[in-house]
Structure 1
Amino acid sequence: MDIDAARAIADTVLCAGPVLRPYRAAGHRDPGRWQFGMLMPADLAAADESLSAVAQTECLVEGGGPVRLRVLLRFLQVQRRSVYRWLPDLGRFKPVGSLDVDGVALVSCDEPVEHEQLVEVDDATLPAAGTRQTVRVSGGFARTELHDTRGRLVGQVVRHRRPLCAMLNVSAQPVPAPRPALRLRVWVENRTRAGADGDEVALTTALVATHLILSIEGGGFVSMVDPPGWAAEAVENCANVGLWPVLAGPPGRHDTLLATPRILRDHPADLLDHAADELLQLRNLAG
């Protein structure tokens, strides 16, 4: 199984952008930067039909014997980083967009925090009702004082992230086909509530760049991009909402699936080489 390889591909196509481009406080409420795989808080999505709190992937599994499935849910959380300047005359801190400490500029911005949740499902619990698991992320608050080379207090950095709650549901049903097959459904919902703060905390209570990595023993995933003839109709009847599944292992392997909000081709490992070339070009441009 190639979970690590699929993880690297997902990081390349979904997570590298936010990590490489720090988000200044002047625009941190613009959701455009976090545009892929955003599952918004349930109460905001219920009030605005343009938003979604749910994503779902369906795919086919071929195999007539017992199977063991691993589902890895991955997403980013937006953490607020605020920089403060120390005002010694007033004896207090003042929030600022940026602060220079011995020639190093520290900026107020949004930061991505990575989260993963693994669910293992055996053949006995896979059919029909399947299994559900609640995913909880605790909130966090951290304060770091900033001192210059002479030891003087010049400011502080405060990082704050909100608690999140999501639900992951895995189920499967037999598919009428010439070969033994199951339609596998993985459904994830952001059940966090933004509450009265609404739009102000929308980004910090969203699941960002949400995606899934599936691996299987005792069976194989059917290509959703180029299915064999016997599975074409069943593939067409699969419902994918906000996620698109592709085979993620090397060509010829069918034991790992990657479902992302970006449409990829099967076996997209060469994206890693392209991303490395782009990063090298950016580094050269930056001098």
Structure 2
Amino acid sequence: MDIDAARIVADTVLRAGPVLRPYRATSHRDPNRWQFGMLMPADLAAGDESLSATAQTECLIEAEPGVRLRVLLRFLQVQRRTVYRWLPDRGRFKPVGSLGVDGSAIASCDEPVEHEILFDVDEATLCGAGARHTIRVPGGFDRTELHDARRALVGQVVRHRRPLCAMLNVSAQPVPAPRPALRLRVWVENRTRAGADGHEVALTTALVASHLILSVDNGAFVSMVDPPGWAAEAAEDCANVGLWPVLAGPPGRHDTLLATPRILRDHPGDLLDSAVDELLQLRNLAG
């Protein structure tokens, strides 16, 4: 299995460059800037056709007895970082866009927090009723005091994370083919509710840069980019929405699959250097 290799590819093409650049407090919080794999809160998506709370990938597995699947869901959670200046004459803190501390500027912004959810699905579950996994990410509130070189209190940084809730469903059905094969479906939904605050908290209740890494024991993934002749018709019938699967790991390996919001080719490890260069150029052009 090449889960680590798939992680590197995903981090390069989804989570480098502009996606991880924080918003300044003076910037418009545009969800499109966190551009890949945005699963918005369910209640917002229900009222706006341009938003989606769900994504799905389907692919084919040549299954042997004892087939076993490992599912890794990865996404970013956006937390709000607010900087406060200490006002000693008033005995309180005041929120500010940026605070200078000993020549360094500390800014209020939105920050990414990484999450990985991993679970296994055995043959009986995979070929039976399937698996449903509820994902709950707790909210959080952290406070860090800021002191200058003389150890005088000058401010504080407060980080706030809203709780997230998502559902992951995994199921498989046999497909008519010359070889024993399964059509695997992995479906993820953001079930978080933004509530009355609506678009103001949309980013902090979204699953950002959502993608899947799948690995299989006693089986092999079929290329969805260039399926063999015996699997071509079944591959055409697979429905992928918001996630597109490619074989990961080195050429010749079929035990790991990467499903991302970006369309890649099979075994995309050789794209790393060029993707990093491209993202750095885009970041420089964007200033």
TM class, shorter-chain normalised?
Answer: over 0.9
Residue pairs, 1:31-70, within 5 angstroms: 31-70=31-70
* Superposition map of 1:3-152 within 5 A: 3-18=3-18, 20-27=20-27, 29-152=29-152
Report the secondary structure of 2:15's partner residue: helix
Conserved 8 A contact 2:12-2:276? no
Deviation digits for residues 69-102 of structure 1 (CA, Å, limit 9, x no counterpart): 0000000000000011111111111111111100
Task: Map 1:179-190; keep pairs closer than 5 Å.
Answer: 179-190=179-190
Deviation (angstroms), 1:284: 10
The within-5 A match list for 1:266-281 is: 266-277=266-277
Secondary structure of the residue aligned to 1:232 is: helix
Superimposed CA distance per residue, residues 170-197 of structure 1 (whole angstroms, 9 cap, x where no aligned partner): 0000000111100000000001011111
Measured in 2, the distance between the counterparts of 1:280 and 1:18 equals 9
Contact map agreement 1:62 1:219 (CA 8 A) in 2? yes
1:201 aligns with 2:195: no
- Using the alignment, how far apart are the partners of 1:37 and 1:256 within structure 2? 20
1: distance between equivalents of 2:189 and 2:55?
7
Deviation at 1:21, TM superposition (A): 2.0
Counterpart position of 2:171: 171
One-letter amino acid matched to 1:142: D
1:233 matched to 2:229:
no
Q: Are the counterparts in 2 of residues 12 and 271 from structure 1 also a CA contact under 8 Å?
A: no
SS at match of 1:196: helix
Partner of 1:222: 222
State the Cα deviation string for residues 114-139 of structure 1 (Å, max 9, x = none).
00101100101102520001011000
Deviations along 1:193-224, whole A, 9 cap, x unmatched? 11111111111000000000000010100000
Aligned residues: 285
- 1:273 Cα shift? 2.2
> CA contact under 8 A between 2:17 and 2:283: conserved in structure 1?
no
What is the CA distance between 1:276 and its match in structure 2?
4.7
C-alpha distance in 2 between matches for 1:141 and 1:97: 19
Q: How does the TM-score come out when normalised to structure 2? A: 0.95
**C-alpha deviation, 1:271, in angstroms:** 2.2
Structure 2 gap ranges (5+): none
8 A Cα contact 2:16 2:279, kept in partner: no
SS in 1 for 2:266: coil
Contact 2:18–2:283 (8 Å) recurs in 1: no
Shift of 1:64: 3.5
Are the structure 2 counterparts of residues 142 and 90 from structure 1 closer, same or farther at C-alpha, using a change threshold of 3 Å? same
Cα 1:91–1:161 shift into 2, 3 Å: same
Partner Cα distance (2:180, 2:68) in 1 = 16
* Distance in 1 separating the partners of 2:132 and 2:12: 29
Q: CA RMSD in A?
A: 1.8
Q: What one-letter code is carried by the residue in structure 1 that aligns with 2:16?
A: A
CA contact (8 A) 1:28 1:110 kept: no
Between 95-104 and 123-132, the greater mean CA deviation after superposition: 123-132
Q: Cα offset for 1:27?
A: 2.1
CA contact (8 A) 1:28 1:109 kept: no
1:259 and 2:249 matched: no
AA matched with 1:117: I
